[in-house]
Amino acid sequence: MKVNVSKDHIVAYVSPRSIGGQSLFSPAAKLMASHIESYTSEKSIETRARNKLEAMGFTIEKVSTLSIRISAPAALYQKEMGVKFEKDTSSMFLPTPESVMNALQLDSEVLEGAAFPQPVELHAAKKAAKKAAAKKAAVHAGPSATPPALPYFHLQVPDDIVSLLNAGPLHAGGIKGQGVKAAMIDSGFDWSHPYFSGKGYNLNAAPPHNVDRNGHGTGESANLLAIAPKVKLHGLLMDDSVASFQTARDTLKVKIISNSWGSRLPTDGQFGTWNPYWSLVLGEISLCVQAGMIVLFSGGNGGMSATASSTDVISVGGVYSDENGQLHATDYASSFQSFRFPGRQIPDVCGLCGVRPRAAYIALPIPPGCAIDQDLAGGIWPMKDQTAANDGWAVFSGTSAACPMVAGVVALMLSKHPDLTLAEIRQRLESTCKDVVQGASSMGDQAGPGRDLATGYGLVDAARACA
């Protein structure tokens, strides 16, 4: 369900006063699992905050550990908080730049401030949704369960992904992710595509999560399922990631969350900007990790997002395996030193990812006529993928593809060793990677022997990580 696309119903998250005395929205807030407890609130403060918001006229939608979700028409936010809204290119209503800080200055003993959901960027082929919006897909009889034959080098799911990440020996030994619950937060998941049929997948994307007009979530899920075909996979929408993290943790109680997206504007790096909503996102991630969950984020395709640099997450970059099986750092994937988390380097480890100009690398199943299907169709590779605009297949990747692959490896690890902690999973992944010594990242960082900024510890090796 899209959020904040109507001025008649604007959702926000309000943080009650924290027990530690420092606001969740403070630039100095330590939003990590080891400190997140100090940003929770006493029950009496939470109750007073709720009562105050109701007295102001807001509807209370949910009370959670760090925040209270409210909704109201835009006019009430302007009256009570001094927040005005304008429509963003993503079709979301966002606070105007002049009024955004007013929501953090509520002059209240019980309310620290309010934050509003922000648009995100998918870490695969860019600009698909905008380009496809003006197009109409032709009627199609239905997609094939297998991709079309294409005259250029590319990978196919599941076999090529299984082979290159060395998951085959585990599958042969019966380790396929069984007994592990995972979630992907993405654009939606239309698993009615015949590619997914007959494989014994355990999939759950309840409405409205089972609609995917973009195609990103559906396609990238095939990468996770290639590695861990017996995992129980839940699909959740990224439109309000705070709500999705809460659902994954508190309702579904999954063990793994895979995220192939980041902030649309840079939220890390020397010139990164910030919005209080990202404080809430980092806080929710910290609560997930505190609860024993493994959270993975794609490192980005040339951008810098704090979601990828959080010390609580496994950050996934990209490695390109060419037609000769040679491994290279890819010029499509981000690599950077974090400004927001000093000492943090992104990525930690890598999955598979294509190269510039569009990372057209893996043939993936998607809803026929969706945004990606139309955007990449026709033309000449590598700018286009030479598939039809409504055939339900597209060739794409980005670090969006790499992240769910590594999430699948983590599912195999937990299937074989259920009691592994985040620290132990990190150590296993990092110490068993295939070293990558050639190529450079999107930022120009060179790969080299051992850990490097371009590829972290290298390409994950499933069998070695699970040994």
What pLDDT, on the 0 to 100 scale, is given for residue 135?
45
129 has a pLDDT exceeding 60: no
137 has a pLDDT exceeding 50: no
Instruction: Report the alpha-carbon angle 96-101-104, nearest 5.
Output: 135
Residue in the block written with tokens 């997002």: 305
What pLDDT, on the 0 to 100 scale, is given for residue 136?
46
Average pLDDT over residues 399-417: 98
pTM equals 0.96
Confirm if 352 and 361 have CB atoms less than 8 A apart. yes
Annotated domain spans of the chain: 10-117, 122-465
437 has a pLDDT exceeding 60: yes
Q: What does residue 376 show for φ and ψ, rounded to 5 degrees? A: -90, -5
What pLDDT, on the 0 to 100 scale, is given for residue 139?
46
Report the alpha-carbon distance of residue 258 to residue 307 in Å, rounded.
12
Average pLDDT over residues 219-235: 98
CA distances (Å), origin 237, targets 3, 7, 186, 293, 347: 11, 21, 5, 19, 24
45-75 pLDDT tens trace: 999 999 999 999 999 999 999 999 999 999 9
CA distances (Å), origin 199, targets 5, 193, 202, 228, 231: 37, 12, 9, 12, 12
Average pLDDT of the chain, as a whole number: 95
What pLDDT, on the 0 to 100 scale, is given for residue 128?
44
What pLDDT, on the 0 to 100 scale, is given for residue 125?
59
Residue type at position 112: E
Give residue 100's Cα distance to chain centre.
Answer: 25
Q: What percent of the chain has pLDDT over 70?
A: 96
Q: Which two tokens stand for residue 148?
A: 């079309």
CB atoms inside a 10 Å sphere around CB 344: 18
**pLDDT range class, residue 134, cuts 50, 70, 90:** very low
133 has a pLDDT exceeding 60: no
Q: What does residue 261 show for φ and ψ, rounded to 5 degrees? A: -155, 170
**Strands 393-396 and 362-365, how do they pair?**
antiparallel
Average pLDDT over residues 251-279: 96
For residue 363, what are the β-bridge partners?
156, 395
332-385 pLDDT tens trace: 999 999 999 999 999 999 999 999 999 999 999 999 999 999 999 999 999 999
Average pLDDT over residues 1-11: 93
What pLDDT, on the 0 to 100 scale, is given for residue 2?
87
Supply the CATH classification number for the domain 122-465: 3.40.50.200
> HEC profile for the chain?
CCCCCECCEEEEEEEECCCCCCCCCCCCCCCCCCCHHHHCCCHHHHHHHHHHHHHHCCEEEEECCCCEEEEECHHHHHHHHCCCEEECCCCCEEECCCCHHHHHCCCCCCEEEEECCCCEEECCCCCHHHHHCCCCCCCCCCCCCCCCCCCCCCEECCHHHHHHCCCHHHHHCCCCCCCCEEEEEECCCCCCCHHHCCCCCEEECCCCCCCCCCCHHHHHHHHHHHHCCCCEEEEEECCCHHHHHHHHHHHHCCCEEEECEEECCCCCCCCCCCCHHHHHHHHHHHHHHHCCCEEEEECCCCCCCHHHHCCCCEEEEEEEECCCCCEEECCCCCCEECCCCCCCEECCEEEECCCCCCCCCEEEECCCCCHHHHHHCCCCCCCCCCCCCCCCEEEECCHHHHHHHHHHHHHHHHHHCCCCCHHHHHHHHHHCCECCCCEECCCCCECCCCCECCCECCECCHHHHCC
131 has a pLDDT exceeding 80: no
Average pLDDT over residues 181-186: 98
What pLDDT, on the 0 to 100 scale, is given for residue 130?
43
CA distances (Å), origin 430, targets 29, 45, 164, 168, 455: 29, 43, 17, 20, 11
Report the alpha-carbon distance of residue 17 to residue 435 in Å, rounded.
47
Average pLDDT over residues 182-205: 97
User: Nearest to residue 122, comparing CAs of 244, 242, 262, 220?
Assistant: 262
